[in-house]
C-alpha cells in the first residue's frame, strides 16, 4: 500500500483514489489533477475532476493548481460532451455541507447536458434594488484579499 503523501489525508476517499488504494474509472490525469467517472452519475458520462493536493474547499486549493485545473476541466468537458453526444455540460463545485458538499476534498462535477433534459436548473432571483446590489458588491469587495 502507498504511504499517504504529505499533502493528502489518509482517511479521505478521494485521497485514497489518488493514491491508487481505491479503483476508479480514470479518464484524465496530470501531476495536479485526476479525473474519473462518478459512480453515482447524474447523467451518463458524469465525471469528477479532483485536485490531487488535499484541500477541503475551494479557498484551500493552492493557487499553483489553477492552470492545471482549468485545463483539465476544458479537456474533460469537451471529451465527455463529444463522447456522450451532449449539447452542453455543467461544471458544478460545492463548498461546505450547506452548499451540498458531501466529500470534504475539493472536486468539480462535469455533467453532460442535453436539450430539454430537465436535469436541473438554478432559479434566478433578484435584489430589492440596484442600491442593495451596489452596497453588497462594495462590502464583498472589501473582504477580498
**For the segment 40-50, what is each residue's pLDDT rounded down to a tens digit?**
999 999 999 99
84, 44 contact by CB (below 8 A): yes
Identify the domain containing residue 49 by its residue range.
Answer: 13-143
The domain that holds 136 is classified in CATH as: 3.30.428.10
Q: Judge residue 115's burial from the number of C-beta atoms within 10 Å of its C-beta, 0-12 exposed, 13-18 middle, 19 or more buried.
A: exposed
62 lies in a domain? yes
Active site residues: 107
Residue-wise pLDDT for 62-106, tens only, equals 888 989 999 999 999 999 999 999 999 999 999 999 999 999 999
6 lies in a domain? no
Domain count within the chain: 1
3 lies in a domain? no
What is the distance between the alpha carbons of residues 86 and 60, in angstroms, rounded to a whole number?
32
Angle at 116 between CA 115 and CA 119, to 5 degrees: 105
Query: Which among 55, 50, 60 has a CA at the least distance from the CA of 30?
Result: 50
- What DSSP designation does 2 have? P
Q: How far apart are the first and last CA of the chain?
A: 40
Amino acid at each position: 500500500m502507498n504511504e499517504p503523501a504529505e499533502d493528502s489525508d489518509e482517511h479521505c476517499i478521494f485521497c485514497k483514489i489518488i493514491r491508487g488504494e481505491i479503483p476508479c474509472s480514470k479518464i484524465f490525469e496530470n501531476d495536479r489533477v485526476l479525473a474519473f467517472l462518478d459512480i453515482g452519475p447524474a447523467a451518463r458520462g458524469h465525471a469528477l475532476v479532483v485536485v490531487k493536493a488535499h484541500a477541503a474547499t475551494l479557498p484551500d486549493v493552492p493557487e499553483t493548481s489553477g492552470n492545471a485545473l482549468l485545463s483539465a476541466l476544458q479537456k474533460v468537458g469537451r471529451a465527455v460532451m463529444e463522447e456522450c453526444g451532449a449539447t452542453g455540460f455543467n461544471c458544478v463545485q460545492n463548498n461546505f455541507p450547506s452548499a451540498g458538499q458531501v466529500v470534504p476534498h475539493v472536486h468539480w462535477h462535469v455533467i453532460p447536458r442535453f436539450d430539454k433534459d430537465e436535469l436541473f436548473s438554478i432559479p434566478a432571483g433578484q435584489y430589492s434594488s440596484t442600491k442593495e446590489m451596489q452596497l453588497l458588491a462594495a462590502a464583498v469587495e472589501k473582504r477580498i484579499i
